[in-house]
Amino acid sequence: MNMNLKKITSFLSCALLLLPAVQVEAAPASGVLNRTVVFARFFDDPELDATRESYENMFIDMNSYFMAISNGKLDVRSHLYPRNTGVNTSFELDYCYYCYDSTWKGTYPNCKSTAITGKADINVAFVISELAAKMEAAGEVPSAEELDGDGDGYVDNFVIVLRGAGRGTGKGIHSPHVGTVSETYTKQKGDIKINGKIIRDYTVTYERNTLETHSRFQLSQLGFPNLYPTMGSCPRFVGMWDPMDGPKLVFPLVYNRMKYTSGTWIEEIPEITRAGQYSLAPATDGAAYRIASSDPSQFWVLEFRDASQPWEENIAGTGLIIYRVNTAYTGVLARNSEIYVCRKDGTFTEYGNVADAPFSESYGRVSFGPDSNPSPFLADGSKEDIPEITDIALAGGKATFRVSKLAGVHAVGISDTWDARTVPYAPGMIQVEGDGIENLTLYSLTGQCVFALTGEISGQVDVSGIKSGVYVLRLSNGAGRIFTSKIIL
């Protein structure tokens, strides 16, 4: 294993601590989202080392971060319990660290008593129930509005901060993670409630977890998938260009901010369908363009990342970045990724360095096409001769570029040999050239007729009403000559 792969593997062993233990139902992406943050320590442990003020400041920063990346649409508020200032007091759990560990092989301490009877008790839900009861007994009960910002009857997010540090993944209360209260627990003991609100979604953290961890967990609860690879031999598909690959906080990719908030933060990404000169404001404004590939399930997204913008100081540099989106996947699955950020020397077989992603004059990367480095390729390694993007430059706080070759622009010329050719730059049109053409039909790849035209056919045929994709074109003339070809719309 070379040194780069060793570094990747080392990072992944740490990053895996951030994997959600279970799938959680996505939280609302707009309005007020309340985090009920409860500080706790195991039985007979000392109080937390960090001051309450340090947490208050951290969560103010967290609120600012989400206001920025949501274009002011999501107000994440953290309410801290027990209520105090200065020394960070916490709720003491009834049992020690080992009592909540179902994998503990030694003798349980006497503090376990008979209250913990099985795995339904050695569970995060057991701790949540215990903390909810302690909060009510101490009169530390949040208002209904603080618990449930969207009024759906559920606590928006119940966040536990435990003293010390976690111990890896898959260890229940001992592992930092995002999750939902298990059915194993609720079937035996019912819903956990506080002030009439059901606690379902939770986050487990430890006092050494940072702003990055809390924010990444909140993004997970909103539905953003993890983007770091789960196999040590895989490349970094996205890297520092999105916080779900990390390790630092930056703006999520524009595509993710659109898709995983169902268009709440960013309504849509406009598609480039005509050749010409284009410009992009920084991605912090939500600006991006989409360009089709030859595969209807994959496309390219262009966005301008500016390291001088707020929360963007941790990206690898300022420039236009181009990434491929494969809609067959969500997040990362082994060696497959929904998103691949193009980078210098990155190919289907070579990882390259994702830090070398920006295009600009200062990096010597001013074009993206079949002869550039990097060049476009699809998820299966197929090389693409589209798009052709040139003259990439930065000026006036924007990225400018020229698009001169696109997918989805086709012309068919009929000659004595009935061959076809592709003529670019006429989106939504099929240019038909030849004598005596009387029938034009488009079929889906499953054989369904989606468009038909009869009569004397010549020149441009408008097919802009047909959904983008790959089709079979069939032409025939009065002499019975037939021509068929696959085309991309």
Which of 60-74, 108-122, 389-403 has the lowest average pLDDT? 108-122
- Residue 137 pLDDT grade (very low, low, confident, very high; cuts 50, 70, 90): very high
> Which tops the pLDDT comparison, 293 or 305?
305
Q: What percent of the chain has pLDDT over 70?
A: 84
Give mean pLDDT, residues 304-323: 97
Give mean pLDDT, residues 112-135: 79
pLDDT for res 458: 77
Tokens (6 digits) for 215:
């924010």
Counting Cα atoms < 13 Å in the Cβ hemisphere of 475 gives 25
Q: Residue 452 pLDDT > 70, yes or no?
A: yes
pLDDT for res 472: 83
> Which tops the pLDDT comparison, 185 or 259?
259
Q: Residue 103 pLDDT > 70, yes or no?
A: no
| Cα separation values, 273 from 270, 292, 468, Å | 9, 8, 11
Contacts of 55 (CB under 8 A, 6+ apart): 37, 80, 88, 161
pLDDT for res 117: 63
Q: Residue 192 pLDDT > 80, yes or no?
A: yes
Q: Residue 85 pLDDT > 70, yes or no?
A: no
**Dist CA 136 CA 148 (whole Å):** 17
- Predicted TM-score (pTM) of the model is 0.79
> Which tops the pLDDT comparison, 158 or 476?
158
pLDDT for res 439: 87
DSSP 354: G
- Residue 445 pLDDT grade (very low, low, confident, very high; cuts 50, 70, 90): confident
